[in-house]
Structure 1
Amino acid sequence: NVGWQAGDRWLLAMPLARVGGLSILTRCLAARATLVLAPRFDAAGLPGLIEHERITLASLVPTMLALTLDAHPGWVAPPYFRTLLLGGSAASPRLFARSRAARLPVVVTYGCTETCSQIVATPYEARFDAEPWGCGTVLPGAELRADGERLQVRGAMRMHGYLGEPALDPNAWFDTGDHGRIHPDGHVELFGRRHDLIVTGGENVYPAEVERVLEALPGIAAAAVFGVPDETWGQTVAAALVADGTPPPDATIVAHLAAHLARHKRPRAVVWVDALPVTAAGKPDRGALGARVGELRGLKA
């Protein structure tokens, strides 16, 4: 999809213990291409590193990209930087808009450890306007189908099986557990990862959908939506919010949510935080938000 060009240099700033980082190493080895290993991810130093090392390709998760753009307002990617692979979690419309302003060529990807990284990606030709493509189209060699909303995959890139369990049938479909839709034009829309799903009163809520709505409201820089155990509903929806300047009043948030989301999807309580917690891979750490449950307060219309 992305291909190789003379002089390509791929930045590895992700953990090698994760398949997203490991796959950068393996593809560079297979292509005999240059890999530039960053000692760690550093949002403040990333643009300088790209320019100093003349990086042409890099892989980040959305949180890493947002932190980099926060640290460098007005930064514009150099013309030789030709692809930013963006995956691991959902990117918001606001992040896409900021990427376009920075002239970043974004290729969105979707995959999982069991498929040795990506199986879906934005077409390279659409890298300056990736948002309409969802998480992309199925890459050559992979097959993807939706059983209801459950995405299933098969192909030579799929694992043989889990350690200590019987090997999988080579022709069997593997249930990713992730939820999404394959549109008639072939682009794939990811609703949410399996471990993120909130079930409230028997209804499914995908945090990424709610987060996109919240982050579209002026005054909210970032949002992380998570489930809170509830005896009546099983779970209720809550959100941790990062302010962009002056936080919007509760009434404004409630009205905005009511205009864009069904009732069961609307957060009932929120907590304002200085920054959202992230995992070692740079993804939103929803599990860590459970420690903030005691700080949640109900939204007042």
Structure 2
Amino acid sequence: MSEPLSVRAAARERGDCDALIDEDGDAISWRALEAQVDERIAMLAAHGVDGHDPAARIAVVGSPTRAHIVDVLAAIEIGAPLVMLHPRWTDAERDVVIDESAPRVVLPSQTEAHVGHEPPRPREGAIDPARTLAVLYTSGTTGKAKGALLARRAFLASARASAVNLPLTPSDRWLLCMPIAHVGGLSVVVRSLIARSTIVLAGPFDETRTRDAIERRGVTLVSLVPTMLARLLDAGFVRPATLRTILLGGAACPERLLMRAVEADLPLRTTYGLTEACSQVTTARSDVRSLAEGAGHPLPGTGVRIGARGTIEVRGPTMFDGWLGQVVSPFDHDGWYDTGDLGELDARGRLHVLARRTDLIVSGGENVYPAEVEAALERIDGVRAACVFGVPDDRWGQIVAAAIVVDERAPDDATIARALSRVLARFKRPRRIARLPSLVVAGSGKLDRRATADAATPLLRALEVHDG
């Protein structure tokens, strides 16, 4: 095969074969996709972005749509680093990322007036595999979003390692129903390009739409988080003969949900991954039939160990190159990266994830860091202090809850909901709230989050998730 990360190469090899099945069920061939990508490349060139400057980044909204996939593939084709913008971010959240990453172009709005330019000639020579393919933002434990630098070589290594357990062929059809601002969603696009297989689109996840797409469009693979799986089963999903694998990750799978999937004879493969490792770190080698199988074995070439603090440490060729704008290496002297997640390896080498990063809330597959939500709450007039934590929820896995301490200005719940709607994505906003006279402080002087949550839980009441 020629250049794996090239739509033009794929079009030469696969021609009229299907590259995309769009939201309306229409097929787009590799040759037609190449034409759309070339048009987008011409638009980028009109804005001075031709891929020769590795600092000339392109920001793209990460919705799972044909237009945004074309944006992504155009950037990959010319070697321009992507900055992925989550489609559910507020304007304030998006502005922070754009200010820090300083993209040369933000797609699609800045390029709409430039249809008709001739595409530049293909560049001579291969693009350096060490060049950044994407900057993916993930919130840190401080609550501040950080941009993980993921090189082209990391995506290639991740695809090769994944293919050992889960070979991908040109005849496969992979349903994309999660944002491509997530490493899992972007990996579907990149791996399908490498394998010259077909991406099937059904829009943002909706259980009915997704079920129908899997059943009617010959889908062979789909990546889901547990919340999506639960909603599919609730919608009466029955496995079609074409479906060979459901990759399940993003959060722990409740035992009750796993048993439902097993009873429905669904071909589940559990995974554990993170943005910094370019998606998967471990994957089950066969269909999962019990929780005893955990998150599976490390991918070939990926090292996994449990550190002195009981946290999962990872190294290997899929790892990121550090954080945008930070010069301090996140790796130790032997190349190990401490994920902060708690876990253990069993006698058969399978990883069991005991808890995600300290304080992390995983709601419907979305990561929510309490510090970010607490900061937003404490910016509201009358809120003196806040403690944010997760509470179990059958549908979402966890939902966000908050304990607050107020002063004499004491904002009502509606005021709090409106204020949060302006600065936080919907999935980050508390759905339960309690008011306490004070937060619990540990002997060290730091907030005792667990004790505060215990005190607040009996007092929690519903908080409207305001839409602005």
Q: The TM-score by the shorter chain falls in which range?
A: 0.5 to 0.7
Corresponding residue of 1:293 = 434
Corresponding residue of 2:238 = 76
Query: In the aligned structure 1, how far is the partner of 2:314 from the partner of 2:177?
Result: 28
Q: Equivalent residues in 2 for 1:218-229 (5 A)?
A: 224=398
- Which amino acid counterpart does residue 247 of structure 2 have in structure 1? L
CA displacement, residues 254-291 of structure 1 (integer Å, 9 cap, x when unaligned)? xxxxxxxxxxxxxxxxxxxxxxxxx989xxx5x53364
Corresponding residue of 1:182 = 345
- Secondary structure of the residue aligned to 2:273 is strand
- Aligned 8 A contact 1:15 1:280 in 2: no
Query: In the aligned structure 2, how far is the partner of 1:27 from the partner of 1:163?
Result: 24
- Which amino acid counterpart does residue 224 of structure 1 have in structure 2? Q
Query: In the aligned structure 1, how far is the partner of 2:208 from the partner of 2:358?
Result: 31
- Which amino acid counterpart does residue 15 of structure 1 have in structure 2? P
Q: Equivalent residues in 2 for 1:152-163 (5 A)?
A: 152-163=313-324
Is it true that 1:26 corresponds to 2:190 in the alignment?
A: yes
Corresponding residue of 1:50 = 214
Residue 179 of structure 2: which of 15, 32, 54 is its match?
A: 15
Is it true that 1:95 corresponds to 2:257 in the alignment?
A: yes
Q: 1:87 Cα shift? A: 0.3
Q: Which has the larger radius of gyration?
A: 2
Q: 1:111 Cα shift? A: 0.8
- Which amino acid counterpart does residue 26 of structure 1 have in structure 2? V
Q: 1:155 Cα shift? A: 0.5
**CA distance change for structure 1 residues 80 and 70 in 2, over 3 Å: closer, same or farther?**
same
Q: 1:226 Cα shift? A: 6.4
- Structure 2 runs not aligned, ≥5 long: 1-164, 362-388, 406-423, 436-455, 461-468
Provide the TM-score with structure 1 as the length reference: 0.67
Q: 1:8 Cα shift? A: 1.1
Q: 1:172 Cα shift? A: 1.4
- Aligned 8 A contact 2:402 2:432 in 1: no
Provide the TM-score with structure 2 as the length reference: 0.44
- Which amino acid counterpart does residue 433 of structure 2 have in structure 1? R
Q: 1:227 Cα shift? A: 7.1
Q: Equivalent residues in 2 for 1:100-249 (5 A)?
A: 100-123=262-285, 126-129=286-289, 131-147=291-307, 148-166=309-327, 168=329, 171-196=334-359, 211=392, 224=398
CA displacement, residues 60-85 of structure 1 (integer Å, 9 cap, x when unaligned)? 1001111111122xx32012210000
- Secondary structure of the residue aligned to 1:180 is strand
Greater percentage in helix: 2
- Secondary structure of the residue aligned to 2:252 is coil
**Number of aligned pairs?**
228
Greater percentage in strand: 1
- Percent identical across equivalent pairs? 39
- Which amino acid counterpart does residue 335 of structure 2 have in structure 1? A
- Which amino acid counterpart does residue 67 of structure 1 have in structure 2? R
**CA distance change for structure 1 residues 144 and 92 in 2, over 3 Å: closer, same or farther?**
same
Task: Quote the RMSD (CA, aligned, Å).
Answer: 3.1
**CA distance change for structure 1 residues 197 and 48 in 2, over 3 Å: closer, same or farther?**
closer
- Aligned 8 A contact 2:247 2:270 in 1: yes
CA displacement, residues 197-243 of structure 1 (integer Å, 9 cap, x when unaligned)? 59xxxxxxxx99x95xxx8xxxx777637676599xxxxxxxxxxxx
- Aligned 8 A contact 1:107 1:130 in 2: no
Query: In the aligned structure 1, how far is the partner of 2:185 from the partner of 2:262?
Result: 25
Q: 1:55 Cα shift? A: 0.3
**CA distance change for structure 1 residues 291 and 156 in 2, over 3 Å: closer, same or farther?**
same
- Secondary structure of the residue aligned to 2:179 is coil
Residue 67 of structure 1: which of 212, 217, 231 is its match?
A: 231
